[in-house]
Structure 1
Amino acid sequence: MKRHLTMSSLLWSGLALALALPLAAAETKAPAAQAKKSQLPPLIDRDKFFGNPEIAAAQLSPDGKWIAFLKPYKETRNIWVKKVGEPYAKGHLITADPKRPIPAFFWSRDGKQILFVQDKDGDENFNVYAVDPAAPAAPGKDVPEARNLTAAKGARAMIYAVPKADPDTIYVGLNDRDAAWHDVYKVKISTGERTLLRKNTERIAGWMFDKQANLRLALRTTEKGDTEILRVDPEGFTKVYECSVFESAAPVNFHKDGKRVYLETNKGARDLTELVLFDPATGQEAKLESDPKGRVDFGSAIFSDLTDDLIATVYQDDRTRIYWKDKAWEADYKLIQKKLPGGEIGLASMTADEQLVMVTSYSDRDPGSRYLFDRRTKKLSLEYVSREDLPRQHMVAMQPIRYKSSDGLEIPAYLSLPKGVPAKSLPLVVVPHGGPWARDGWGFNSLAQFLANRGYAVLQPNFRGSTGYGKKFLNAGNKQWGDLMQDDITWGVKHLVAKGIVDPKRVGIMGGSYGGYATLAGVTFTPDLYAAAVSIVGPSNLLTLLETIPPYWEAGRIIFHERMGNPNTPEGKKQLERQSPLNSAAKIHTPLMVIQGANDPRVKKAESDQIVIALRDRGFPVEYLCAPDEGHGFARPVNNQAMFAAAETFLAKYLKARHQEGGKPDVMKRLPEITVDPKTVVLAKKADAASVSVPKPVAKPTAGTFTYAGTMAMGPRSMAISMVRTVKEEGGTWVVTDTAKLPGGEAVDTTTMAKDTLAPLKRQVKQGPVVIEMAFDGGKATGTMAMGGNAKPFSIDLGGGIYADGSGAEDALACLPLAEGYAVTFRNVDLQRQKVQLKQAKVLGQEELKVPAGTFKAWKVELTSAEGDPGTTTLWVDTASRKVLKTVATGPQMGGAVVTVELQN
């Protein structure tokens, strides 16, 4: 049985998971309690909240003979396997990563392999690995060899389907050809053989297979941000459903009839998302269900893998509600509830015949336990207790509350109050969730319980823009970052102060991702409200945030512009500048701690660096932690524990609350290693665009037709590529045309340059359905970008002359006064981001170079971003003829691939 959750993209909610992950912590004695604090429960070691659990995430094998689970190995979560019925202490290790915890794993359909995903130091470039749990340890290792099924370097794999009809197969998406879009591959698990099924040249953001492992549907985001559901036909795509950028629709699962599909949608007059049955062949739609209480969106559906029937629907209100469609499953569920009263019951993994089920039970005060339930005998047996040494009797209730915001909108939230003291004049920590298009829910929250144990009240507001409460509530957050969305948080504090629960002089705020932004916005736009703040991977400048979103979020770029603000319009840019905490940093007078992962692909390190610099330069104290081996939130136990140790001490200092002193030796050793002295923080130097002039060439291009050939290498894979370059003088101009044969098809790029200055005058790019026409005139680049005949105009202010852009770029560079130590900065146009970018060319020296066209004396020229962006192109230019002999290029836009071409004639 599967749980099918919504396919909506919660782009920045990653840190909510990171904050709840069970990671390693310290073991020390609590300080002496003051008189009022003596009524609080004992100070619980933070290790019991955030340390590695002894056992976690147990999953049954399809045949019911084995259980795979996570357990620490050298203080890092790895995968272990044991027989059903054996104690967990008898499990044997099958992965042995000493540094990076395994974030997720699952059994293959036939139970012969365990598949897991892994990235490197938080860069989110996940690959999919397979390991045979029955295989012997590899030579010289403690575990069997894990095979990388996707082997993508600098790219992100996405799992689309693990079909029942073909148990040795997994369908994945890879963006190693084009960083913005994922191609679809069929991968044979046992051998790693990979077959390309569909090249993604149509801006497809998601793919869906049917029960027979046929690729049936695709999701596309249009250039307006609308959602299209496409039927995948042999000859192409047929649009069968669409909704606007401010609506949502997504397929959930195929019906057992193989024709219709379960679809969740709020298209049209609907406010709450509902579940419908949709026929892609006829376009007919039949409503199945919406929230019977009319309060929240449709949440998720549970299906039987055995029968393909819909078993239950799930809604996340103040607490979870389940509506059963299958009487046998409902009876078993109610029996389990009777045996485990008071908590939430979840169905986890189960055997292929659905007779042996792993059951979870948890509550707001209990992180949970796992049980095995035999549906034949109705026997329920305990497998293990999560965080068994965490004293449940000292945990607190998570109370759903409601309050009105500044404009009267009702805001749902959760409030956790400390035990043992009256709910009066308490210190408060507000914890806004990430996303922001996500929500907090009821259940055990490690951070909330940790803070409550220290004596804080904890407020978790589901501010406007949060998901699950209907389309109107979600859209009420459009373009409201730092404005009404922030008011929703502010008025939550005011509500608790007015009720006498909270001391207005002891209010703190702590959040990650969007919650980190809300933290910075809180101390910037309401500087008198907070006495302490901790921003974790929080963006400080919304313009630079939008400029640096990962390439694989390209489908959602226009949605960001619609929901956040469009930086390409004067009014949008002005709005985003106003809402950026960095631009109002002078208003901050709240003590601030900033926490960052150096490899974060979502919120770049510069977002934290620049707010730290802004405060430091005005002489305001700021504390800074930055882990060199983390990304969007800390996953390594030692880093995570060091972060919470620092944050706990910081909050206690300014909010006058208790805290735990010290910690385990490895944590206390790590903390100073990731603590950054604000005096040492510098941003990568960027060239001053206003001072950049247009270089002057000293030579002319060499006319003729030149053939280049080489490879595009991605990890162990290498593909042949070729290009023909034609350079000719035409009508008082130079026209350079590059015709390249690439793995993705043929691409033609033609640039017309002024005869004497080699400045580009116009450019045309054709690749598949994409056609770009651009002209340079009067300090602007204007043109159209078309896909399939739908042309969209654009206009880019240049701020000066452009040089070495388009297909004539290399020839224009070759004509500069190249010499030892020569360097020059010039402008290019970044078509993807619709803005000017600065490049720097630098001569590294002179070399003798052998290529198929012969042996030459060549200048070696390195081309990089003058703005600190990644990627490098190296050219070798013949010193005599100025012909380009060889090019080696790499960069994130190529998914980490290295492209090498050499002159053939």
Structure 2
Amino acid sequence: MAWTIALATLAGAAAAPPAPAPPLAAYGRLPSVETLRLSPDGKRLAMIVGGEEAREIQVRNVPGMAMAAVIPAQKNKVRDLIWAGSDHLIVMTSTTASVAELSDSRRYEWSQLADIDLRTGKSRQLLGRTEGSMNVVAGRPRPVLRGGKPMLIVEGYTFPNSQATSTLFRIDLGNGGETIVETGTTLTVDWLLDETGRAVARADYDSREQEWRLFVRPGANWTRRYEERSAIDTPGLLAMDSDGARALISSHKSGEWETYRVGLGDGVFSEPVAELDGESIIVDSETGRMIGQSHYGLTEAEVQFRDPADQALWQRLVRAFKGESVSFVSWTPDRQRVVVAVEGPTNGNAFFLVDRTAKTATWLTNAYAGINPEHWQPVEAFHYKAADGFDIPAYLTLPRGAAAAKALPLIVLAHGGPAGRDYPGFDWWAQALAARGYAVLQPQFRGSTGFGEAHMAAGFGQWGRKMQSDVSDGVRHLAAAGRIDPRRACIVGASYGGYAALAGVTVETGVYRCAAGVAGVYDLKRMLNTEASEGGWQSAGLRYWRRFMGATRNDDPALEAIAPARLADRAKGVPVLLVHGKDDSVVRYEQTQIMAKALTAAGNPPEVVTLAGEDHWLSRSATRQQMLNAVVGFLEKHNPPGTAAIVGK
């Protein structure tokens, strides 16, 4: 029996003439459908649906997709949906808040859980019943069955001696009761659970001593079996191995990231597992075991599942959706039903339900209402050379129908991190800008992840230096090829990308006619001092940032030459937009205030847009749209996308 790809109304969309661009709001609002999760029995599909004002969690029956339940989400920031059995849906949300009982009164992002019993329709908040604990979680919960009863193993916090301590709770979803099953130490940073939910490994990290410690439990008590000196690149507990008998642990002890199998009784490390080098581990959420590995290159994902049947399914899907980006979103434990995301020129940004028994892949929905395949702006993957010859991968998103166009207006869209990356699939921000007539360059400058360890390590010490010139070298490359008009180039970015945007007109000059920074870092000394006050002066996080910046201490004089707020006078005459969420707990809002003050003092007051109630991740539709409207309006004013020549800079 042949496999059937049911495309429904999408058939023939790729051959249609260019369609009018969707309204900007179609890109700016949160996805219309996201976080699709199949129940373990494959009979229900949960998802987050709608805009901010009418956002809800829907549960639909499979395969007919008839509505089984609707749970209003209101304005909660829903981060994930987790099935615990097929009758309990766990909703993970987060909120930005300060906690009066803690000594640190600053606002942070806290995650919480609620259980929805689909048999009764009742919901219950989880955690916080135990004396001396909080109703917040430190990670994704693990659903388990005990005596046929659905339960959760959750990492939370208790406060013995007023010290925050990682603690594992077992929650009975039948009555909401919670029991402490493991208490770590003030140094505990991670746990590894077997398929029954039992903790089989624990990791502690002493930041002051710069030592990572592995504990295993061959009997009733925890035993310290391994230590590794690590100032920054600490080992990690990845998953249980596919056989369930050993742990998979990443380590940088050789000078390169390698993966090891570690005995759960003796803590003995194997030789490095060569086939896992540079790979991301695919973990089954029900068992905690590795079921495969993946690596996403510049243009496509390379995936290898351990089960030959899973691998055959993956290969069929890659062939069926040739030329598009395919990823597994959710699956049943036996992988008989799988939800996949497909992104590309034929299907746009869509979800499909794969049924291995029926041998069908049925279209479910587009992720963004009003953005259809005919609105896809083509994405090119290419490489260029930096000034020193270093290879830079990049993406160029073009207005539909403009593949052969010359002298296009350019927006450089720098990613965050800086140890992050872009992908060739649907990027709502790049697609929105291209739909407005701009070529959009997304350079994967040195320091980016996903292109090998050497590529990322080349960024150490190059913050504001070669990491910055890598970006502008991309502009020069496109200009030399005649594809863009160098007089019509602006730079935009968020987080580290916001830094790169402002550095593009202060640390560098003469490349961009305007710059827009969203939630960016502009005063590096202030950033490091904030990191020290929140994470500790001996924290690995502080050492991490100093390594990228090439700083030996927080007041290193070298930081002056790469801090936009200290070089604001160099941006004279260049229009600048600053956008920032007031509730940002990652990059504090004061960074935008400092940059705005410096630019104003230099005689170049910026446009400033404050996003009320918004965090670092643009989690709310209204404020995400406010950001996109502000940025596009700013760009169209100072770098209009029309074909009329712009004289001067």
Residue of 94, 99, 107 corresponding to 2:83: 107
Within-5 A mapping of 1:15-94:
42-72=20-50, 75-87=53-65, 90=67, 92-94=69-71
SS in structure 2 of the partner of residue 607 of structure 1: helix
Give the distance between the partners of 2:543 and 2:182, measured in 1 at CA.
24
SS in structure 2 of the partner of residue 360 of structure 1: strand
CA apart distance, 1:320: 1.1
CA apart distance, 1:463: 1.3
The aligned counterpart of 2:629 is 645
Task: Compute the RMSD of aligned alpha carbons.
Answer: 3.2
Q: Is the 8 Å Cα contact of residues 189 and 203 (structure 2) preserved in structure 1? A: yes
Q: Is the 8 Å Cα contact of residues 126 and 135 (structure 2) preserved in structure 1? A: no
- Cα–Cα, structure 1 residues 170 and 473, in superposed 2: closer, same or farther, change >3 Å? same
User: Is the counterpart of residue 130 in structure 1 residue 115 in structure 2?
Assistant: yes
Give the distance between the partners of 1:213 and 1:652, measured in 2 at CA.
54
Amino acid at match of 2:316: L
CA apart distance, 1:469: 2.6
The aligned counterpart of 1:172 is 155
CA apart distance, 1:524: 0.7
Within-5 A mapping of 1:605-620:
605-620=589-604
- Cα–Cα, structure 1 residues 617 and 309, in superposed 2: closer, same or farther, change >3 Å? closer
- Cα–Cα, structure 1 residues 414 and 153, in superposed 2: closer, same or farther, change >3 Å? farther
Give the distance between the partners of 2:495 and 2:513, measured in 1 at CA.
21
The aligned counterpart of 2:343 is 362
Q: Is the 8 Å Cα contact of residues 511 and 518 (structure 1) preserved in structure 2? A: yes
Q: Is the 8 Å Cα contact of residues 542 and 580 (structure 1) preserved in structure 2? A: yes
The aligned counterpart of 1:436 is 418
User: Is the counterpart of residue 492 in structure 1 residue 474 in structure 2?
Assistant: yes
1:70-123 CA deviation, whole Å, 9 max, x = no partner? 1126634331222223446x35321332x2342222211453233322214794
CA apart distance, 1:613: 1.3
Amino acid at match of 2:250: E
CA apart distance, 1:68: 1.2
Give the distance between the partners of 1:135 and 1:229, measured in 2 at CA.
45
Give the distance between the partners of 1:399 and 1:301, measured in 2 at CA.
27
1:501-526 CA deviation, whole Å, 9 max, x = no partner? 12111111111111111111111111
Q: Is the 8 Å Cα contact of residues 180 and 551 (structure 1) preserved in structure 2? A: no
User: Is the counterpart of residue 213 in structure 1 residue 206 in structure 2?
Assistant: no
Q: Is the 8 Å Cα contact of residues 128 and 136 (structure 2) preserved in structure 1? A: no
- Cα–Cα, structure 1 residues 371 and 305, in superposed 2: closer, same or farther, change >3 Å? same
Identity %: 28
Amino acid at match of 2:362: S
Deviates more, 1:379-388 or 1:123-132: 379-388
- Cα–Cα, structure 1 residues 153 and 196, in superposed 2: closer, same or farther, change >3 Å? closer
Within-5 A mapping of 1:176-195:
182-190=165-173, 191-195=175-179
Amino acid at match of 1:127: Q
CA apart distance, 1:603: 0.9
Count of aligned pairs between the two proteins: 603
5+ long unaligned stretches in structure 2: 1-16, 98-106, 644-649
Give the distance between the partners of 1:399 and 1:224, measured in 2 at CA.
46
Give the distance between the partners of 1:392 and 1:619, measured in 2 at CA.
46
The aligned counterpart of 2:72 is 95
CA apart distance, 1:209: 1.9
The aligned counterpart of 1:453 is 435
Within-5 A mapping of 1:186-335:
186-190=169-173, 191-223=175-207, 226=210, 228-233=212-217, 238-240=224-226, 242=228, 244-245=230-231, 247=233, 249-268=235-254, 270=256, 273-279=257-263, 281-290=266-275, 298-303=278-283, 310-318=290-298, 319-335=300-316
Give the distance between the partners of 1:471 and 1:401, measured in 2 at CA.
20
Amino acid at match of 1:629: G
Q: Is the 8 Å Cα contact of residues 194 and 287 (structure 2) preserved in structure 1? A: no
- Cα–Cα, structure 1 residues 87 and 413, in superposed 2: closer, same or farther, change >3 Å? same
CA apart distance, 1:176: 6.6
User: Is the counterpart of residue 349 in structure 1 residue 330 in structure 2?
Assistant: yes
Within-5 A mapping of 1:558-577:
558-566=543-551, 568=553, 573-577=556-560
What TM-score comes out, normalization by structure 2 length? 0.84
- Cα–Cα, structure 1 residues 565 and 369, in superposed 2: closer, same or farther, change >3 Å? same
The aligned counterpart of 1:898 is none
5+ long unaligned stretches in structure 1: 1-38, 137-143, 292-296, 660-905
Residue of 400, 406, 425 corresponding to 1:424: 406
- Cα–Cα, structure 1 residues 365 and 203, in superposed 2: closer, same or farther, change >3 Å? farther
Q: Is the 8 Å Cα contact of residues 248 and 261 (structure 2) preserved in structure 1? A: yes
User: Is the counterpart of residue 157 in structure 1 residue 134 in structure 2?
Assistant: no
Residue of 570, 575, 579 corresponding to 2:562: 579
SS in structure 1 of the partner of residue 625 of structure 2: helix
Deviates more, 1:618-627 or 1:176-185: 176-185
SS in structure 1 of the partner of residue 76 of structure 2: coil
SS in structure 2 of the partner of residue 103 of structure 1: strand
CA apart distance, 1:468: 2.4
Q: Is the 8 Å Cα contact of residues 174 and 183 (structure 1) preserved in structure 2? A: yes
- Cα–Cα, structure 1 residues 84 and 383, in superposed 2: closer, same or farther, change >3 Å? same
SS in structure 1 of the partner of residue 78 of structure 2: coil
Give the distance between the partners of 1:104 and 1:172, measured in 2 at CA.
16
Residue of 109, 117, 130 corresponding to 2:93: 117
The aligned counterpart of 2:3 is none
Q: Is the 8 Å Cα contact of residues 241 and 283 (structure 1) preserved in structure 2? A: no
CA apart distance, 1:66: 1.9
The aligned counterpart of 1:776 is none
Q: Is the 8 Å Cα contact of residues 158 and 173 (structure 1) preserved in structure 2? A: yes
Give the distance between the partners of 1:237 and 1:91, measured in 2 at CA.
48
1:172-211 CA deviation, whole Å, 9 max, x = no partner? 1337779995511314142333334454544222222222
Q: Is the 8 Å Cα contact of residues 169 and 189 (structure 1) preserved in structure 2? A: yes
SS in structure 2 of the partner of residue 157 of structure 1: coil
From the CA coordinates, give the structure whose radius of gyration is larger: 1
Amino acid at match of 1:125: W
Amino acid at match of 1:95: P
- Cα–Cα, structure 1 residues 76 and 529, in superposed 2: closer, same or farther, change >3 Å? farther
- Cα–Cα, structure 1 residues 247 and 149, in superposed 2: closer, same or farther, change >3 Å? closer
Amino acid at match of 1:496: L
- Cα–Cα, structure 1 residues 154 and 435, in superposed 2: closer, same or farther, change >3 Å? farther
CA apart distance, 1:395: 2.0
Give the distance between the partners of 2:30 and 2:319, measured in 1 at CA.
31
CA apart distance, 1:220: 3.9
- Cα–Cα, structure 1 residues 210 and 309, in superposed 2: closer, same or farther, change >3 Å? closer
Give the distance between the partners of 1:448 and 1:175, measured in 2 at CA.
43
CA apart distance, 1:153: 10
User: Is the counterpart of residue 633 in structure 1 residue 617 in structure 2?
Assistant: yes
The aligned counterpart of 1:792 is none
Q: Is the 8 Å Cα contact of residues 493 and 517 (structure 2) preserved in structure 1? A: yes
Q: Is the 8 Å Cα contact of residues 350 and 357 (structure 1) preserved in structure 2? A: yes
CA apart distance, 1:555: 4.9
Give the distance between the partners of 1:373 and 1:312, measured in 2 at CA.
19
CA apart distance, 1:285: 1.5
The aligned counterpart of 2:357 is 376
1:827-862 CA deviation, whole Å, 9 max, x = no partner? xxxxxxxxxxxxxxxxxxxxxxxxxxxxxxxxxxxx
SS in structure 1 of the partner of residue 119 of structure 2: coil
The aligned counterpart of 2:646 is none
Q: Is the 8 Å Cα contact of residues 598 and 627 (structure 1) preserved in structure 2? A: yes
Q: Is the 8 Å Cα contact of residues 78 and 102 (structure 1) preserved in structure 2? A: no
Give the distance between the partners of 2:642 and 2:124, measured in 1 at CA.
46
Give the distance between the partners of 1:636 and 1:262, measured in 2 at CA.
37
Q: Is the 8 Å Cα contact of residues 211 and 228 (structure 2) preserved in structure 1? A: yes
SS in structure 2 of the partner of residue 159 of structure 1: coil
